[in-house]
Amino acid sequence: MSDWWFVAGIDPAQGGAARTELRAGDASDDFAMATWRAKPDGPAELVNIIRATGMSAKQMSAVIHQQNRAFNYDLLVMDMGGGGLSLRDELREPVQVERDEPFKVLPLITKDDEQLAGAGNDRLVLFSRSDSRISGNDRREGCPGMGMKLESESLLPNKMHELFRGALEQQPPRVRFPKPYPKAGQWDGAENLRAHLNRVDPAAGRDRVALEVELALMQLIQVSRVMATDGMTPNTDKYGFYKFESTEKKDAAYAMIYGYFGVWMLRMEHKLNEGFDDGEPTSPIFGTEDF
């Protein structure tokens, strides 16, 4: 049995043009799924990214279940936007279909799914303060909850960005990426690389995965805070929290960040279950202790 945790971050998106019709400037959003592996301590490692455009909720669900077969995820963190609620419903289905071939699965559900409790794999987390595994409302054995008291939904992405930025900036970094892939330099920028990848066989092996990782990292550096009209002052909501935007696509980058947030969640749960006490407030997200 592996001593690694495997965590998925999922950014769902429905609709869009057919894969063969995409151009560099196409406005369609992508479905993206990033896989991390980690242990209770040490750097988290990015091991896989898959991405596709123009997928239905049923198609995305089948892909996620196939990835779960390969990695046996300890946690899957999924954005609720871009058709996330429809995708959640499809993940609950015991029979999935890929390329017209049905296959049976154990439904992927959240801790809040009372209807399928005990009949599904409850490792799915919706990235929202309403999810009990984030809010701390779930007090069942083995799931103490994060205890996050969030007065604003926008606080959650703010803290997610803060955690990921801190992991990148810490020395040594708390995240580890694959080595740079030289072939990525053939394309001038993220959108051209994305357009190329949308035209090639999605099952093209190691080259495809390596280029998808490069695309996610290119997208990551384009994500920034929304600025006021003066171009100097960050815009905030009524609670004083930042908003984020990108001049280009950011789906793969966000899948990567959601996944890292899941790594952090597992580590916090591990500490809580082990009786860890670092003297920080009872709401771990407000703590300053770096894992």
> Which amino acid appears at position 158 of this protein?
N
- Work out whether strand 44-53 and strand 30-38 pair parallel, antiparallel, or are unpaired: antiparallel
Coil, helix or strand for 207?
Answer: helix
- In this structure, how many other beta carbons lie within 10 angstroms of the beta carbon of residue 186? 10
Give the burial class of 24: count Cβ atoms within 10 A of its Cβ; 0-12 exposed, 13-18 middle, 19 or more buried. middle
Whether 55 has a pLDDT exceeding 50, the answer reads yes
Residue-level pLDDT at 14: 66
Instruction: Report residue 137's pLDDT band, with 50, 70 and 90 as the boundaries.
Output: low
Compute and round to an integer the Cα radius of gyration of the chain: 19
- Tell me the domains of the chain and their CATH numbers: 5-275 (3.30.420.240)
Task: Give CA–CA dist 38/75, Å, rounded.
Answer: 12
Determine the average pLDDT of the residues in 88-99: 95
Give tens-digit pLDDT for 194-229: 888 888 766 667 888 899 999 988 888 776 555 556
Whether 103 has a pLDDT exceeding 70, the answer reads yes
Determine the average pLDDT of the residues in 143-169: 73
**Which of 12-26, 113-127, 144-158, 175-189 is least confident?**
12-26
Determine the average pLDDT of the residues in 255-271: 92
Q: Which of 181, 190, 216, 183 is nearest to 24 (CA)?
A: 190
Instruction: Report residue 125's pLDDT band, with 50, 70 and 90 as the boundaries.
Output: very high
- In this structure, how many other beta carbons lie within 10 angstroms of the beta carbon of residue 239? 12
Residue-level pLDDT at 105: 97
Task: Give CA–CA dist 213/209, Å, rounded.
Answer: 6
Q: What is the pTM of this model?
A: 0.81
Helix or strand holding residue 68 (H, E): helix 57-71
